[in-house]
Amino acid sequence: MRRKSILLVLLFFLAVCAAHAAELKNEKARQEGNRLVITYDLEGKENEAQVNLILTVDGKTCKASDLHVEGDVGKVRTGRGKRISWNILQDFPRGLRSGVDWELTTAGEAFTDSVTGMEMVFVKGGCYRMGDTFGDGYADEKPVHEVCVNDFYMGKHEVTVGQFRKFVQDTNYRTEAEKGDGCYIWTGTKWVKQRDKNWRNPGFSQRDNHPVVCVSWNDAKKFSEWQTRKSGKDYRLPTEAEWEYAARSGGKSEKYAGGNDVDAVAWYSKNSGSETHPVGQKRPNGLGLYDMSGNVREWCSDWYGEKYYSQSPRDNPDGPSSGSYRVLRGGSWVYIPRNVRAADRGWYIPEIRNNYFGFRMALSAR
């Protein structure tokens, strides 16, 4: 977040606070008579994106539509030289003596990571009721509590075999399964750890567009660190609160990620054929994210706390400060419907690997 100040000669001072998403560039503010003018460039591969302007005046938050604002706000075509103009005196005839904050964001757009080809979808932050809102969950999903998260980006898909291969080829990284005693696989009757099983050979056929499996939390963390170094962007695993908010299409009342019809959105025990499937084949959720229910269980950044929901902070919770287990979310190809719900919580030691655990990347928008 960058802070800029301009002095307007309308008996008030504007302290400009521009918080922007990754595709907004060169934001500037200046006075033109009785107007505040904001200019910016909107970069991206899409033809257009939603640009939102929020102004806070005397502690009251206003949308652009609430004020005499005109110009490049709302649906805006990508390009340079965009301009927004606010006629302040039409809304405040006597001028202002207090500070005014403004926040310019883009919503709903995606960008493609140049290193991996990974598509990242912008998730507008907000508040929601996290936990077992349908009343059919487990004890650790209670109490239902209000959580607020900041803007962030989430991977459109789970990290794929092909994307993970780029990491391995660039670093010569060996996963914990490869260095250790293999990966757990499902034999049809029980879980067995086999020394020759790993992300290259998980016990079923995979192509580059399948979600990578047999990766531990530690392996996922190493991938995120590599992607950060190569791209210059701070990639990471999502927090558990971010994950559920994104899975539920921005905190909506959805049992599964994208609605209440499990077969429409998820590969799970009944329809998976006991294996992963290429990413993006089921219906996406309301944010355009795929496979957040089913296909593979996804590592989150948090330590797991069984009672954490009763003590979680409201704003941007990131789990207990320490623990023995890391959180997993989303269910998998081997799970029953109850365990691919958006509110369902899983946990394992960070070193564990099996052929239904994977992950997806997140990125803060500020």
**C-alpha torsion sign, points 109, 224, 306, 269:** positive
Please report the pLDDT score of residue 110 as a whole number: 73
Amino acid at 290: Y
Question: Which residue carries 């192509």 as its tokens?
Answer: 207
Summarised one tens digit per residue, pLDDT across range 238-278 is 999 999 999 999 999 999 998 999 999 999 999 999 999 99
Q: In whole numbers, what is the pLDDT of the chain averaged over residues?
A: 89
* Three-state DSSP class for residue 58: coil
Instruction: Band the pLDDT of 105: cuts 50, 70, 90.
Output: low
In single-letter form, the type of residue at position 213 comes to V
Q: Which helix (H) or strand (E) holds 259?
A: none
Average confidence (pLDDT) over 110-119: 90
Are the beta carbons of 330 and 241 closer than 8 angstroms? no
CATH assignment of 112-364?
3.90.1580.10
What average pLDDT does range 95-108 have in this prediction? 69
> Is the overall model pTM greater than 0.85, yes or no?
no
Q: How far apart, in whole angstroms, are the C-alpha atoms of residue 233 and residue 276?
A: 29
Strand partners, 18: 2
Residue 193: beta bridge partners? 184
From CA 302, how far away is CA 319, in angstroms rounded?
Answer: 5
Q: 59 — alpha (psi -120 to 50), left (phi > 0) or beta?
A: left
Confidence tier at 9 by pLDDT (50, 70, 90): very low
Phi and psi dihedrals of 141, rounded to 5? -90, 5
Q: Averaged over 172-186, what is the pLDDT?
A: 97
Contact 184, 354 (CB under 8 A): yes
Six-digit token string for 249: 């299409």
pLDDT digits (tens, 9 = 90+) for 209-225: 999 999 999 999 999 99
Q: How far apart are CA 82 and CA 98, in angstroms?
A: 27
Secondary structure, 3-state, 7-35 = EECCCEEEEEEECCCCCEEEEEEEEECCE
